[in-house]
């Protein structure tokens, strides 16, 4: 069921006023009640002290030796005088809880039996109990050393209760009157604004139907006036956006075509991943089966372990490259550009890779000029390692890798040449695509995955660098260009 804003505001105001009345009444009445209780508790406490002082004073004026005997024998007189003094009904009890006297003017009155209260007072404690409009207050009576009895004082709180009820009725009457007056005033004020809101809603409905001229304007200098201006601005923007949407239709169609091509490329990428993962996994599984079947043939087990470990390392390298390439391509990959000596970085990488090259009888020569470049140092290290590692894997036994570096205008050029198997011309434009290999059979022999060069290209593109392939089918030269550091590079 739909409830209009007008009804909601009306109900809200009514509930708000009622809740205020209830809260105020509750705390006012509780305060009055607590104050009344506090007053009669203090009054009765003072009266109990007065009783003890009065009895001691009377004993001091008498000729009786025993205080307790005086208390019991003169209890009637004491009770009458105490009732007159306090103007309250009083009764005296001995130390056994027996009533020994009652005020004369209350002899015909039926006394409420409150044995538990008297028993409490005999334990040297003060207690009281309310019965209707009467408070029965009991307190110990002492001689100069010990308790000799109990006094009961009856206090009538009827006047207090009548006052409390009158205040409660007054609060209800005044509260209801204030609610009615406030309700009508606030409703009149709010409904004036509600009418403006309803008109603004009509303006929104008109915009929904495509009518941008029948708009209601609120001229008041408040939030509703700002909302009216906002609706007008929104209508104008919608008109402009519709025109822009129509003009962008062809661009969206072109984008859709690009997305479809990207989707096909993604499917091809996933297919390549599946194919590339399947081969090492199949080999590892086969070697594990061989080790299980011929576990007594130590040479077989050793050979199978070496093959499985080689394929496992290849698979691990492939996964790392795929994750690295995916993060560079699809996410806001964080690169920390800085100025550093490129010749030092190149020599650092060469020192790391010489050990691996020497295993295959490959020598590395370098001719590197000193220069400062502006790039992410870690990614440059990654690029150099990938290119030199390729030069080792696809080289010939006792081959060479020649690394040269020199400045060329605003770029630093690094040439990495190897004496390996080379790259035919028909493959030069595709060699940087993910999973692309020149010869599937030949690439497997060299443990290639077709990911390293794709990663190198992406890292360079993100940092204004460039890589190209030169050379013939007898040798390979990768030419890398990276920006040289300028004074205003990091501004």
What gap in Å lies between CA 71 and CA 149, rounded to an integer? 9
Domain boundary among 112, 134, 164: 164
- Average pLDDT of span 214-240: 68
Domain boundary among 134, 164, 194: 164
What is the maximum span of the chain, computed from C-alpha positions, in angstroms? 144
Q: What confidence category does residue 106 fall into, taking pLDDT thresholds of 50, 70 and 90?
A: very low
Q: Is the residue at 134 inside a domain?
A: yes
Q: Is the residue at 292 inside a domain?
A: no
Classify residue 334 as exposed, middle or buried by CB count within 10 Å of its CB (0-12, 13-18, 19+): exposed
pTM above 0.85, yes or no: no
Q: Is the residue at 197 inside a domain?
A: no
Tokens representing 156 are: 């009538």
Instruction: Choose among 320, 363, 370: nearest CA to 345.
Output: 370
Contacts of 412 (CB under 8 A, 6+ apart): 342, 371, 373, 405, 406, 481, 482, 483, 484
Q: If you ran DSSP here, which 8-state letter would residue 484 be given? A: B
What gap in Å lies between CA 401 and CA 194, rounded to an integer? 83
Q: Is the residue at 293 inside a domain?
A: no
Give the lowest-confidence range in 138-147, 184-193, 237-246, 428-437: 428-437
- Average pLDDT of span 450-473: 79
Q: What confidence category does residue 188 fall into, taking pLDDT thresholds of 50, 70 and 90?
A: confident
- How high is the mean pLDDT of the chain? 78
Instruction: Choose among 427, 425, 431: nearest CA to 472.
Output: 425
- Average pLDDT of span 176-203: 75
Q: Is the residue at 78 inside a domain?
A: yes
- Domain of residue 412, residue span: 334-483
Tokens 């822009």 label which residue? 244
Tokens representing 199 are: 């008109």
Question: How many domains does the chain fold into?
Answer: 2
Give the lowest-confidence range in 39-48, 70-79, 331-340, 366-375: 331-340
pLDDT digits (tens, 9 = 90+) for 428-449: 666 777 666 665 444 444 445 5
CATH code at 20?
A: 3.30.450.20
Domain boundary among 164, 193, 225: 164
Q: Is the residue at 278 inside a domain?
A: no
CA 384, 385, 387 angle in degrees (round to 5)? 65
- Average pLDDT of span 63-75: 87
Residue 451, number of CB atoms within 10 A of its CB: 23
Q: Is the residue at 189 inside a domain?
A: no
Which run of H or of E encompasses 83?
helix 75-86
pLDDT digits (tens, 9 = 90+) for 244-289: 787 777 777 777 776 676 566 556 556 555 645 655 677 777 678 7
Q: Is the residue at 44 inside a domain?
A: yes
CATH code at 466?
A: 3.30.565.10
Cβ atoms of 194 and 9 within 8 Å: the answer is yes
How many residues make up the chain in this entry? 491
Tokens representing 99 are: 């009533």
**What's the Cα-to-Cα distance from 272 to each of 75, 265, 296, 450, rounded to whole Å?**
115, 10, 38, 10
């Amino acid at each position: 069921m739909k409830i209009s804003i007008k009804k909601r505001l009306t109900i809200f105001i009514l509930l708000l006023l009622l809740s205020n009345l209830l809260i105020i009444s509750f705390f006012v009445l509780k305060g009055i009640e607590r104050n009344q209780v506090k007053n009669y508790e203090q009054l009765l406490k003072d009266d109990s002290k007065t009783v003890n002082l009065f009895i001691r004073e009377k004993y001091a004026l008498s000729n009786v030796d025993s205080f307790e005997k005086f208390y019991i024998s003169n209890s009637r007189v004491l009770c009458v005088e105490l009732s007159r003094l306090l103007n309250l009904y009083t009764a005296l009890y001995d130390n056994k809880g027996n009533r020994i006297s009652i005020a004369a003017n209350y002899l015909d009155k039926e006394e409420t039996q409150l044995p538990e209260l008297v028993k409490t007072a005999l334990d040297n404690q003060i207690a009281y109990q309310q019965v209707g409009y009467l408070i029965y207050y009991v307190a110990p009576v002492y001689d100069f050393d010990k308790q000799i009895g109990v006094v009961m004082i009856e206090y009538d709180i009827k006047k207090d209760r009548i006052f409390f009820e009158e205040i409660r009725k007054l609060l209800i009457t005044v509260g209801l009157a204030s609610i009615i007056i406030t309700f009508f005033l606030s409703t009149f004020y709010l409904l004036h604004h509600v009418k403006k809101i309803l008109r603004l809603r009509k303006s929104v409905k008109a915009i929904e139907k495509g009518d941008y001229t029948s708009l209601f304007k609120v001229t008041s200098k408040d939030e509703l006036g700002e909302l009216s201006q906002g609706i007008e601005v929104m209508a104008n923007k919608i008109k402009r956006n519709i025109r822009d949407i129509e003009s962008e239709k062809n661009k969206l169609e072109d984008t859709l075509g690009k997305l479809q091509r990207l989707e096909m490329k993604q499917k091809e990428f996933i297919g390549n991943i599946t194919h590339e993962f399947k081969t090492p996994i199949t080999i590892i599984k086969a070697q594990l089966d061989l080790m299980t079947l011929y576990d007594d043939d130590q040479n077989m087990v050793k050979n199978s372990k070496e093959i499985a470990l080689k394929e496992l390392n290849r698979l691990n390298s492939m996964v790392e490259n795929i994750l690295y390439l995916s993060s560079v391509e699809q996410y806001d990959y964080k690169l920390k550009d800085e100025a550093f000596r490129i010749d030092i970085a190149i020599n650092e990488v060469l020192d790391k890779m010489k050990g691996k090259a020497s295993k295959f009888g490959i020598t590395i020569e370098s001719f590197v000029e000193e220069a400062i470049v502006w790039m992410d140092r870690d990614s440059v290290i990654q690029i150099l390692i990938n290119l030199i590692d390729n030069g080792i894997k696809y080289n010939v036994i006792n081959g060479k890798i020649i690394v040269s570096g020199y400045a060329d205008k605003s770029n630093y050029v690094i040439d990495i040449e190897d004496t390996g198997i080379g790259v035919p011309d028909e493959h030069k434009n595709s060699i940087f695509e993910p999973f692309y290999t020149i010869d599937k059979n030949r690439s497997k022999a060299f443990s290639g995955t077709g990911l390293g060069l794709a990663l190198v290209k992406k890292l360079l593109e993100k940092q204004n660098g460039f890589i190209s392939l030169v050379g013939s089918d007898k040798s390979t030269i990768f030419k890398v260009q990276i920006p040289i550091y300028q004074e205003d590079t990091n501004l």
